[in-house]
Every structure is written in structure tokens, then in C-alpha cells.
Structure 1
Amino acid sequence: MKLFMAALLTETNTFSPIPTGHGGFHEPSYRRTGASLEAPAWGNIPLIAWRRLAAEHGIEVIESLTANAQPSGTTIRAVYEGLRDLILADLKAAGPVEMVLLNLHGAMVAEGYDDCESDLVARARAIVGPDTIIGVELDLHCHLDETLRSQANIVITYKEYPHIDMTERAEEVFSLALRAARGEIRPVMAYHRLRMINMWHTPIEPMKSIIADMQAEEKSGQILSLSFAHGFPWGDVPHVGAVVLAVADGDAAHAQVTAERWAGRIWELRETTRKRFDTPDQAIDIALVGPGLTVVAETSDNAGGGAPSDCTAMLAAMLRRGVQNAAIGVFWDPVAVAFCQEAGEGARFPLRLGGKCGVMSGDPLDLMVRVHRVLDSHVQTALSGGVRQLGPAAWVEAEGIHIIIGSERNQVFNPDAFTGLGCMLADKRMVVVKSSQHFYAAFAPIAARVRYCAAEAGILRDFAAIPYERFTEPYWPKVANPFA
């Protein structure tokens, strides 16, 4: 038996001013072949699991491209088509294969393509024919359309947000694909669209129980797989929004009924799970009361959602309020880092920070800073055993606030984004992380409380007010009952 595998990932914020081009995909995660033989990173984690499992089952592996770009704006057409065609050329060259496994994001939009993943899978199907099993692993912040459902045999999304379960979901994709290739099961998939735009955090109730109960139903054998695709709110495509996906063994009606039942349960919890965000001043008020460390997620400037990650709105509020003994990061500002490198550790000098990428960035701040530390290469621990590059980086202090600045645009995943530069957090009363939720797994254990904040600049967090043009269906929370 022969397995073909590849990875192509980015999450497209169609409102972002940052184009996704050639350079975005040719960051350190790019590998023409063999990424599964290297250390875990965002793009190759499922491929590492698939290679390991293939070896256990005596399956030959043909590995193609791994490319992962930081979430940004719409992908340049020629860039997407070039990467896609590399994968397809490798698939043709591989000859007959029994399984094709693809690690994709699910919210990649390119010029001329509303759903790059569906386009890639449909073209792969045309090459391999109807009998080859195609399995796809997706981020739960994905868009699901009918092309993907009809052309793939198995689609499974992450269950957890933060995404701590990439390896486990990869193992499920492999297991079901292998069983299907052997003729032991006949997977059929069904969707149910919830007509909801929201963000659901799975480590806390009621979503924690939803995920546990989904997994219990899978283990009971009633259904092969259940996925709750949260959707990516800032992708203006006709099929944006939350979807429940069920995979059944040969029984399409059972898959459909199961998807509808789970969608109904999630719909009933809509007000309980509705995301509400502090203003910067509200978050500061809570942190100043204490006691203990308050971790504040600056969700509106999350690079993982396509924001520039150089917005100064939260920092400006902290300075205006005279907050002391606090930290914030990671700002994406290669120019500021270069100035800190030139000035050197211990230097005190005026630094203009942030506000460089347009309206989403807000205004720059002019600060008098002291440089505590600079590194030529800074990394942080990411999810599922991976690492994320921050590039040349600096730790500076301005008016009692400690600021981390990086040269590679990335959201915060782990305290070592701060401590790796020497900025300790145990003595801080407030730490602001430019992230939406992926920080939670590592920061929650050290926090007395976690708050979610949205500034006026950056990604729009009022889901009812996102200025969609191509998505025209009624949805909650914009309307109370989109099914009426």
C-alpha cells in the first residue's frame, strides 16, 4: 500500500492589509519534501504522525510539499497556483496510491479561489480517480463547502481551541483512511450549518463538555467522527460560519441526523457561549484590583487572525493609566528591533513603536525606552510540541511597562515569548498577550484570572458588525433567529 501526503496552510483574513505572497510561504516551515522527518512545527505535525503510523503498518510514503504562511490577507493567485501545482505534480509522479492525506487549514482564500482547499482536493481527486481514499485534516477555524464534502472521503477538524490536539486528529484521519482503503468501512459525510459567527473556547464550560461528549459518542461506535468547525469570522466568502460535520459508515441519513442533533445542542447554548470582550480600560481596571497575575488577551491584534500585531491601542491605554509592573507583547516591528540592536543592551533612547501597517495598526507610539535585552534569534514554544520563530527580538521598558518586540510576525503561545528574553512574569500584576486563545494552554496555569480584550483598532470583534460583502445569509448574532 502507498500513501501520498502533503501540507499547505494559511488562514486568510480578507480584511487584512497584509498580502499573502511568496515570502510568506517560504518562511522556515517550507520544505519541498521531508518535513515529516524534522522537528515539529505548525505545518508538519500531522505529517510526522502519518509517517510514524505508515511505518507501523508497512505502508510506503511519498511526501510532497509542506508550506505554511502566517495568517494574513488574500493569497496572491500565482503563489497559490504554484504551490498547488507542485503538490499535484508530485501526486501524478507518485503513480497509483491507495491513500492521499492532506494537512490543510480550511480558510485559505486566494485571488479567484474562495476555497483553496476544495480546489486542491478536487484536482487531486481528478488525478487519483474514485477509488483512492482522500483524508483531510483541517483547523477548526475553517470554511466547509460542498466541493470538499463530495471530493474527500474523510474530513476531520481539530476539536480543541487552543489547538492542542493536532496529533490526535491526525491519528484519527489515518486510522479511518486506512480502514476505508482496506474496505472495512465506507465513510460518508454530512454537514449542518448553524448560521452562527462566534468564537468558542473549548477548555471551559459548556464547550468542554460538548467536546467530551462528542468524543464519547465516537468511542461508542455510533459514529465514525464528529467535528465542530467553528469557522473563521474574518473570511468574507459565501460559506463562512459554523458547521457540524459527521462521518458515518455507509449511512448518509445517520450522518445527517447526527450532525443536526449536535448542531441543535450548540445552538441552544448560543447566549451562554457568546463572546464578550473587555475594553482596554475595563481590562486594566480588573488587573489593578488583583490580586495575583491578570493575563489579558489583546484579541484584536492577534497575528493568528490576520492582524498586523503592531497595534499600540492597548499599550497606549496602559501608559495613560500609569500601569506599572506590567508586560505586553509581542509587537511585530522589525525596524524597532533593529534600532534596539544598534543602540545595544542598557541603552536609553527614543523609540517609535508600531502603527506601521495601516488602519488596523492604529497610531504609532513615541516612547523613551531602556533596552534590557536583544537576541539575534528568538523562539517560543507553540502547540502540540512545535516552536514558532520570532526572529531578532528585543525586550525594552517604558514607564514601568515591559515590552517584547519581534521581527517575525507571530501571536503569543507561551510565557517563554517573554521569559526567553529574560522578562520574568512571576512578579508582574498584568501581562498582555497579542493572541486570541492559543496562549491559554500555557498561560492559564500561571494566571489568577484570564481576560479577553478588544481595542477599537485591529480585528473587528463585534461579530454582528463585520462588513461582509460576499457573505449575505442571515446569521446570529446579527439577527436573533437566522432560520426564521
Structure 2
Amino acid sequence: MSESHPTPTARRPVIAIAGLAIETSTFTPTRTHAAAFHPDRGDEVVARYPFLADIADRAEFRGALIGHALPGGVVDRDSYESLADEIVSRLGAITAAEQLDGLWYDIHGAMVVDGLDDAETDLLGRIRAVVGPDVVVSASMDLHGNVTAELAHQVDLVTCYRMAPHEDALETKERAVRNLVDVLTTRPVGQQRPVKAWVPIPVLLPGEQTSTRIEPAASLYAQVPEVEATPGVLDAAIWVGYAWADQPRDRAVTVVTGWDREAVAAGAERLARAFWDVREEFVFVAPTGSFDECLTAALAPGAARPFFVSDSGDNPTAGGSGDMTWGLTRVLANPVFASTDGPTVIYASVPGPAAVETAVEAGVGATVTVTAGAEVDDLHAGPITMTGRVHAVKHGDRDAETEVVLQVGSVFAILTKLRKPYHHEHDFTDLDLAPRDADLVIVKIGYLEPELFDMAADWMLALTPGGVDQDLERLGHHRIQRPMFPYDRVFPSAPDLGARIIPPSNEPLGAIA
């Protein structure tokens, strides 16, 4: 770190908190509306981040509005405008009441809004218009977000997760805030804004091929703290980018910030070249196969139990609609599961509001015939009709609202009023299901989240169709910049992985390649 000295101040800096976060697939027919962001406002915002209490002696925090939505389809423009307007209005009220020194911009980085290709930059531009050019902005992001030169220009500090799955999410947010407080209270002599070095990398890969659980991502991301520890550097980050949106900004990026221009440039270039050099080595985080191949492996004599299968193409935590019935249809069509004496299968999940209502009215133990799924995403399979016994009912879930379990043969199918991801053991045990005792657990997910990973005796990633299809070339992109690996494996010339120094937000951006 560069030599620094406390900046004399008669008060603690005031930091506002704002942001909208969602991962948005443009290949999913669903639309995301304002209510899906479950916005917190004012003091609710400050209360949602426990670590702020540990920094309260160094800064004061003011909540504007924070909204985090379950990944899904494109955000409709009216919903975005209403949330953006409220954020701007609340920040305007804060700046009218007191001097604002900093802003923590808590985002994901892969939000797509109808008519906008870089929604996070658009929102921050509106925020800048009300808080002014002197407010120092620190952004925290998902490593599956996208950092354009324009976004890098608008922020002063930016960081992202260093783990996939994102076990360091809270740690990353805290780092973004502590970096901001440090810049506001202790700066190198003569420095006002950190230097930012940005390097775009022509690689676009799904998260399931870039998990930090395995190589080469494990070693690649191990270099990030090494760069961060370089004298003159404040933070270093690698963005894999978001693979399931068809936008010009979708690609990998490195950004390094700090006080030493040469150090940040060298760090950003080191990480970018390291990423490019291992591009051919990325592989899926688990054995893969078609859905039928995964079922065959799970049912093979001697297969470990419980055996987990990821129905990855409709993963709602990557932006899938969660509404597809393709996987469940294939399970119920398999005669192995027709009898209650067959292998125990848990399938999570398919939305079906009418089916849920019918099951709730009938009650646990009743036999019902219901139809669910494919209300918005029927590209690969239509609604599915099932007759089974109501095994469980649960009300009050934040995402699903109401869940029911329908036993059809030896299959326990979870149906929801609204779509929901299943990441935790209690998601199942709360429904009187025992995933550790099941033969097969099928979850709409990509790489298994930590609790599922720990439960699984074995698992496979099913390469199924849907809005977040792992086969990007099969899915098809038309607007990404080319050449782009793996779409293009032969480049006419080596990519330019030199650092672009991004000017402060109070200076013109200029032309950045």
C-alpha cells in the first residue's frame, strides 16, 4: 500500500446505500416486475448488513433503497423506472439534508431492462446527477456481472466475489464498504480518486465451467489477493461475466484500483493474461450428461445415495424461468418410478398456482389431479398433469409463498405458487422430505450450492434445455462482440490485453476500446 496519512475531518463521513440487483437471462420468456426486488428502504437498508455496525465508529450510513431479486427474465421498463425514480428521490432527500461523502452501490451486474443494454450504468448515471460528481462511489458485484468501460468510469472503487459458489458474498460487500471508508478517511497525500485499470477479455463461459472449486479457476482466483497485496493497489477483481444475456457487454473483465498507476495497470494485465492463457482448460464442475444419462447413472447398481442431478437448463438462480416441465415430465414417464415401492425421488420444483391451490384445499393425505408448469415457458414441454397424494403443505416462503409436495408413485414433486430455488437442507425438511435418505434428488440448479454439495454422495450436471442452457453455442448469441471464445477458437490476431486507464467520473471518459 502507498504511504497514507489521516485526512483531518471534524466529522465522520456520511455514506448512502443504494442499488438494484438481479441476474437476467434474455433467453427466458419471463418478465421481472418491481415487487420481485423485495425492496428495503431507509433504516431497513442499514439493518440488512450486520457488518455496518462494526464500522459505525468510522462512518455514518444512510439507506436509500436496495432491491435484490431472484434471477429471472428481463426487467420491465415501468418497474425499473419506478424503482430508479424512488432511489433518486431518496438520495435527493439525503443530500438536501446533509453533506453526502460516499455511496455504496450494491448491485449484481447482470440486470437487463427493456430498452437498456447497461442498466447498472444507466442507474448510476441518474444517481450521479443528484448526488454530484464529488461523492466517492464504491460498488460490490457478483463475479458473474458485467463491467463496461462506462460503469468503470462512473464508479471510483469496484470489487466482486472471489468464490463460485458465492460463499464470500457478505465478505465482498464488507470489503467494498471498508475500501470506501478508507478512501474517504485516509488517502495518500495529494490523491483524491483512485486509479482504475480495466481490461476486457474475449471469453464468455457459464459459471458451471468456471467454478473456483476446481482448476483452473481455483488457481486463477488465488492470484487476485496477490495482486491486491501489491504496494499501491487497493483492490483487484476478475469478472467471469454473465453468459445468458445476449448483449455487447457480455464477456470477462479484470479491474484493479489503487493509487499507483503502474501497479494497477500491471495487476489488471497480469490477471487478464492469466485468464486468457487458461481459457481452453475450463471444464464443467461435475460429470455431465443428458438428462436420461444422468438418471441412468443415478439408478445404476452401486450408485451412491443420495445421488443429486442438476436440471441446469431451467435453473432459477441463473435466470431460468423455473417454469419448465421438461425434466419432471421425463421423470414421471419413467416406469421405474411408477410404483410407491420404486426408488425415492425428490424433484424441486415446478410452479403451478392453480395446482397448489387445489392441493391446499384438499389437504395433506388427499389424492388430487392437478396441472402445473409451462405457463410462461412452454418452448420444450407443455403443462404437466399429475395424479398423486398430497404429502405436505407449507405457507409463508419468501419466494414461493406456498409450497406443496405431491407424491406420484415414488416421486415427490415440489410444486410452488411462485418459483423458488432449493439450496438448503431445510428447504426440503420443512416439507417433511428427507433428502439424505432419498435415492435421487433432482434440483433446478447449476453447480450445487454448499449445503447440497455436502449432502450429495455423488452428483451429475444434466445438460438440459432452457433459458440458461449450458451449451451456449446451442443456445445462440447474436449481439456479443466477436471474436469471442468459445464461439471463436481461432482469432485473427492476439487480443489486446493491455490495461485501459479509466478516468475519474468527474472527467470525460473518452474513447475506450
Q: Please state whether the residue corresponding to 2:74 is helix, strand or coil.
A: coil
Alignment counterpart, residue 103 of structure 2, candidates 100, 103, 110: 100
2:30 to 9, 15, 18: 18
**1:239-264, Cα deviation, whole Å (9 max, x unpaired):** 1111122223231x432332222122
Cα deviation for residue 423 of structure 1 reads 0.6
Question: For 1:266-281, what aligned pairs fall within 5 Å after superposition?
Answer: 266-275=275-284, 277-281=288-292
What are the superposed Cα offsets for residues 367-401 of structure 1, whole Å, 9 maximum, x if unpaired? 221111111224xxxxxxxxx53311111111211
Shift of residue 4 of structure 1?
0.9
Whether 1:297 aligns to 2:318 is no
Post-superposition CA distance 1:151-191 (Å, at most 9, x none) = 11001111222222121111211121112112525422222
1:412-431 CA-partner distances (Å, limit 9, x unpaired): 21122211111101221211
| Residue 354 of structure 2 corresponds to residue 347 of structure 1 | no
Query: Which 10-residue stretch deviates more, 234-243 or 123-132?
Result: 123-132
Q: Which residue of 2 aligns with 1:320?
A: 333
The structure whose RCO (Cα within 8 Å, separation 6+) is larger is 2
Deviation at 1:220, TM superposition (A): 5.4
> Does 2:391 align with 1:372?
yes
Instruction: Give distance in 2, aligned partners of 1:361 and 1:464.
Output: 18
When structure 1 is superposed on structure 2, of 317-326 and 105-114 the one drifting more is 317-326
Out of 460, 481, 485, the position equivalent to 1:476 is 485
SS at match of 1:134: strand
What do you get for the CA RMSD once the two structures are aligned? Answer: 2.1
Separation in structure 2 between the aligned mates of residue 313 and residue 78 of structure 1, nearest angstrom: 32
Q: Secondary structure at the match of 1:295?
A: strand
| Number of positions where the alignment pairs a residue of Structure 1 with one of Structure 2 | 461
Q: Measure, in 2, the Cα distance between the counterparts of 1:391 and 1:203.
A: 33
Secondary structure at the residue paired with 1:174? helix
- Alignment partner of 1:285 is 2:299: no
Contact 2:354 2:371 in 1 (8 A): no
SS at match of 2:436: coil
Change (3 A) 1:421 1:296: same
Report the Cα distance in structure 2 between the residues aligned to 1:219 and 1:412, rounded to whole angstroms.
Answer: 37
Following superposition, the deviation at residue 222 of structure 1 comes to 6.4
The question of 1:246 aligning with 2:256 is answered yes
Give the aligned partner of residue 67 of structure 1: 67
Matches for 1:429-440 after TM superposition, within 5 Å: 429-437=439-447, 439-440=448-449
| Distance in structure 1 (CA, Å) of the matches to 2:475 and 2:237 | 25
Q: Please name the residue that 1:87 is paired with.
A: 87
Q: 1:291 to 1:272 in 2, by over 3 A?
A: same
Q: Deviations over 1:193-228 (max 9, x none)?
A: 221111211223332233233224424546322212
Amino acid at match of 2:29: P
Match of 1:113, SS?
A: coil
Instruction: Report the more deviating stretch, 209-218 or 420-429.
Output: 209-218
Match for residue 410 of structure 1?
Answer: 420
Aligned pair partner of 2:180 in 162, 165, 177? 177
**C-alpha deviation, 1:103, in angstroms:** 0.7
| Equivalent of residue 422 in structure 1, options 418, 429, 432 | 432
2:90 & 2:369 partners in 1: Cα distance?
52
Moved more, 145-154 or 240-249: 240-249
Secondary structure, aligned partner of 2:212: coil
Cα distance in 2 for partners of 1:310, 1:14 equals 15
Following superposition, the deviation at residue 312 of structure 1 comes to 2.1
Structure 1 pair 433–293 and aligned structure 2 pair: CA distance change class (3 A): same
Which residue, 113, 116, 131 being the options, matches 1:113? 116
- 3-state SS of 2:267 partner: helix
Question: In 2 relative to 1, CA 317–352 (structure 1 residues): closer, same or farther, beyond 3 Å?
Answer: same
Query: Which one of 435, 446, 463 corresponds to residue 455 of structure 2?
Result: 446
Counterpart contact for 2:25–2:468, Cα < 8 Å? no
For residues 319 and 136 of structure 1, do their structure 2 counterparts lie closer, same or farther at Cα, with a shift above 3 Å needed? Answer: same
Q: TM-score, normalised by structure 1?
A: 0.89
Unaligned runs of 5+ in 2: 1-12, 338-342, 494-513
Give 1:127 shift.
Answer: 3.1
**% identity of equivalent residues:** 26
Gaps of 5+ in 1: 39-43, 379-387
In 1: Cα distance, 2:33 partner to 2:362 partner? 32
Counterpart code for 2:44: A
Deviations along 1:73-112, one digit per CA (max 9) or x if unpaired, are 2222222122112212222222221111111111112123
Deviation at 1:361, TM superposition (A): 6.0
Give the CA deviation at 1:460.
2.6
Return the alpha-carbon distance in structure 2 between the equivalents of residues 85 and 136 of structure 1. 20
The amino acid that maps onto 2:377 is G
Aligned residue identity for 2:195? V
Give me the whole-angstrom Cα distance separating, in 1, the residues matched to 2:196 and 2:402: 46
